[in-house]
Chains A and B, each alone.
Chain A
């Protein structure tokens, strides 16, 4: 296999891994507060479609859309949409004490449905036909880093010629790692996820931490959807195009042992596995399907292995998925 193919594969794996990395970073932050948000796939759809709607409205009404404004407006719309979704989740699970799994699944049904609905019907509302394609916004997102991408030879082409969101994903993951490990607030957050009763007794506002981490986590995860529709597909929406990437992001959280730093690497590995079947020559159609099974099998293996070893630092947050009622201690 030529070097060229390998580099193309790595580059494609990074592209595939970026939405997963956003989702995983968001979900790690959320899970560290003890909230197992299974609504992440829905939130990522909403992040994508909100960006599309924001971008579309601007491109539709502005006479000559300015690229930088396209980016800003769709970015804000996306953040707003996914934060709202996460807010619904927090309100239902923290304030109204509903079951986390059920709320998460309902939110995913809702989010995927709403995404597909607007994606499929947005143009009809404005009396147009065809499918959504926001070229100006999409290309603005795809803008490469000017000098670096074409002056560093093959290294620049492989690693430095992505749209800015790829680097945002890495920076956010590193920030999340630093935040969880090296700040007081991060320590408090982990305490909330491990044992909310103890955290509460220590004077930490459990509900506030749960709300904030879930909403910020949701906003970050939503960026994954935004990256997918804006950069990967250049501003086009296809129904169910995002596929099962949201669940894959949740798988990465397990694979990375709840560490954002490891999530970076894991996301690219999973991104690579997602498309590996295209790059391995001589595979039959059915073998390709088996290879696509790998990310899930690997995740299961990690889950079983860590639970059997019982090493404390490799476990999920202890109160993950459990509600906290102060009155029921």
Chain B
């Protein structure tokens, strides 16, 4: 029975796929620009389908929501800075193929450490010293939070995706625990810490509350770029990511690199937690990071771990979210449109990578398969 089938004339498969050779920078930029344009159009289409308003109004609302007033522009820049910062933080670990899905929790414990400093020693220190203590506390807390899964990964190859994922929820409960401890009324809302003295708050530069945050993240972008591209440690990270065996063969201590990189990743998350507390929220809830830890993973991946590209990806995603928020509030619809659009956009960009990396050949009609 089986034999008969193999006797049949062999046919080429309908489609087959080959890997593309390197595209030129111009080509790959063109493809990506087209993809993002297509993504924005699809997002608009989905918004129209969901809400039934005319497309021009959708675009007008989106631009209004992001750039309508100076205040909105600053808000956009602030959200972009936070998202970009967390994306930068997860990148060293990701480049090493350490699938850290725990940025959400790592930033959150960083915030918790900062808020705890404000809460317990907020009045004992001058504000500038308190801010520095908060920074170190946050870095320490987040590095520990990331380091635990890192050590187990290095020692026993424990699955880090699942481990870090679980750590997120432990962190959230930890925050709820401390809020219950600090707020005796049981209202679960901490409120703004030190609203009068503003101890542990970033100073506003040139009257802009968010400017310092943005500057810190800008410096971080450059540092991470240099660290990954120019330093020896950055090189080690790429080698371990590409192939652990190669790394071992050329004499890299893989375990040490894994733990060191994960600690750095965690420490950067701590910096972001510190910025969120001192420069924006001055408070904490179990949902303070608001999914940015997860979005950052996607940003890092779709930017191919390149800090410069991440700037643009973060702006794009924040623009979509702010724009969608505006549409939702204009039409008094649910504000989740932003998440829907972010999801669509990211799925499109990720799937487009296939067409950048591979080439599809269709079977030629008639007897095309003569192996030219």
Contacts and interface: CB of A to CB of B under 8 A. Distances in A.
A113 B17 CA distance: 34
Given A106-B346, A113-B339, A290 B297 contact: no
A285 B337 contact: no
Interface in A46-102: 88, 92, 96-99, 101-102
B210 to A, nearest CB: 25
B99 A119 contact: no
A290 B173 contact: yes
Contacts of B369: none
16 contacts: A38-B101, A101-B297, A102-B297, A106-B298, A106-B347, A110-B342, A112-B339, A113-B340, A124-B332, A124-B333, A239-B334, A247-B166, A289-B177, A303-B158, A307-B158, A308-B155
Contacts of A2: none
Nearest to B358: A97
B225 interface: no
Nearest to B340: A113
A91 to B, nearest CB: 8
Contacts of A251: 162, 166
Contacts of B163: 300, 303-304
Contact of B347 (A101, A103, A289, A307): A103
Interface of A: 36, 38, 42, 88, 92, 96-99, 101-103, 105-117, 119-121, 124, 239, 244, 247, 250-251, 254, 284-286, 288-290, 292-293, 296-297, 299-300, 303-304, 307-308, 310, 316, 320-321, 327
A100 to B, nearest CB: 9
Contacts of B332: 124
B101 to A, nearest CB: 7
B99 A101 contact: yes
Please name the 7 residue pairs, one residue from A and one from B, whose CB atoms are nearest each other, closest first. A110-B343, A113-B339, A120-B334, A286-B180, A116-B336, A293-B173, A307-B158
A109 B295 contact: yes
Contacts of A105: 101, 294, 297-298
A297 to B, nearest CB: 6
Interface string B114-141: 0000000000000000000000000000
Contacts of A107: 343, 347
A310 B157 CA distance: 10
B99 A289 contact: no
Contacts, number: 164
Contacts of A98: 350-351, 353-354
A289 B176 contact: yes
Contact of A285 (B17, B186, B358): B186
Interface residues on B, range: 35 or more
A310 B158 CA distance: 10
Given A113-B336, A286-B181, A321-B161, A296 B347 contact: no
Contacts of A114: 336, 339-340, 343
Contacts of B339: 109-110, 112-114, 116-117
Contacts of A327: 17-19
A239 B287 CA distance: 15
Contact of A96 (B162, B346, B354): B354
Interface in B294-327: 294-295, 297-298, 301-302
A112 B298 CA distance: 16
